Amino acid sequence: MTVLLGLETSCDETAAAIVKDGRTLLSSCLVSQTPIHQKFGGVVPEVAARSHVQTINLMIDEALSKAGLTYDQLDGIACTRGPGLIGTLLIGLSAAKALSWSWNLPLKTVDHLFAHVCANFIDTDLEPPFVALLVSGGHTQILHFKNFDDIQILGETLDDAAGEAYDKVGRLLGLGYPGGPVIDKIASKGNPNAFKFPEGVVKGYDFSFSGLKTAVLRQVEKLQKVTDELPIEDLCASFQEAVTRVLVKKTLKAADELGLKTIVLAGGVAANRELRSKFEKASGYRVYFPSNHLCTDNAAMVAAAAFFHGENSKLNVGAYSRQPVRGSEE
């Protein structure tokens, strides 16, 4: 039995969680900084870092007490090394190093994107190989997850990430930050075919969402010339239709070409109801997605990822803001 404490501070969630054998959640504690950043319309890195400093130790204590464990019952400390905001990553990494040193436990560092995918191992029987669609605020990737040591990026966004597109469209429609959950809710009341927005014509498994965001902006400008009341529900539904259609189409194509029947969704946008429903309607596939609280940033996915494939790191390990080119990690 391996019990790991995971820490996550790559952006604006301060989280600690304890997971047994990569699959059983013993506790998951989190403070979201969304209310702090909302007034700025996005995450302010220095404000985020200061907030992590204030709450990380509280989250660690809470994770241990909710799991009913003391530190001597842990087998290791896991944390996110990158990608993310350097100033915030260093807070989780420094806390993990300090605990590893003082509690004499191995330090395991994981990639945040790999961790998002690993949220799907919690409480399931999922095993590789599978195709994963990773859709978060900073990344959009289709991955061929052959095994824990061999993960190939088949395609990714050439500009905005899917979550970023949701956030930008949310802002331009005056819906606040983050746009994803609000658009998801409002879109369910609108007509997805009211406006024809472009999918972004990009070859292979890559994506482009910046043209879509501009198309929504142009449509809004056009409508504002003739009406004071924007059809927000139809705009949200039509935007969401364009995003989800292309994500599903390319992921299913990748699965078919590789002859794989298992599809895994991960990242904040994997909480989207329309995206899930489109995948569920595609017959002949086993589709996995984490419960909502494990889609957006959390520490349970970090502890799970470290169990399956965490590097045993030295205490001088650094953080990285961007995902390193494969093979170039030190």
Cβ contact 24:13 at 8 Å: no
Using CB under 5 A as the binding rule, the residues of this chain from 120 to 179 that contact Zn ion are 136
Closer residue to ligand KG4, CB minimum distance, 155 or 163:
163
Return the structure tokens found at 226: 């003739």
Give the DSSP per-residue string, 127-180: -S-EEEEEE-SS-EEEEEEEETTEEEEEEEBSSS-HHHHHHHHHHHTT--S-HH
Report the partner that residue 178 touches, choosing among ligand KG4, Zn ion, none (CB closer than 5 to 8 A by kind).
ligand KG4
Q: Site map for ligand KG4, 263-282, x if CB under 6 A? A: ----xxx-xx----------
One of 159, 181, 223, 317 touching ligand KG4 (CB under 6 A) = 181
The packing angle between helices 232-258 and 210-226, to 10°, is 160
Question: Which residue, 166 or 307, is less far from ligand KG4 as judged by CB?
Answer: 166
Shortest CB 178 distance to ligand KG4, Å: 4
Identify residues 9-28 at the interface with ligand KG4 (CB under 6 A): 11
DSSP assigned state of 321: S
φ, ψ dihedrals at 4, nearest 5°: -115, 140
The torsion angles phi and psi of 66, rounded to 5 degrees, stand at -65, -35
Among 128, 178, 200, 310, binds ligand KG4 (CB under 6 A): 178
160 binds ligand KG4 (CB under 6 A): no
Binding pattern to ligand KG4, positions 104-133, x when CB under 6 A? Answer: ------------------------------
181 binds, among ligand KG4, Zn ion, none (CB under 5 to 8 A by kind): ligand KG4
In angstroms, the Cα distances linking 28 to 61, 160, 302 are 11, 30, 11
Number of helices (H) and strands (E), helices first, in the chain?
A: 11, 11
Query: Among Zn ion, ligand KG4, none, what binds residue 163 when CB lies within 5 to 8 Å by partner kind?
Result: ligand KG4
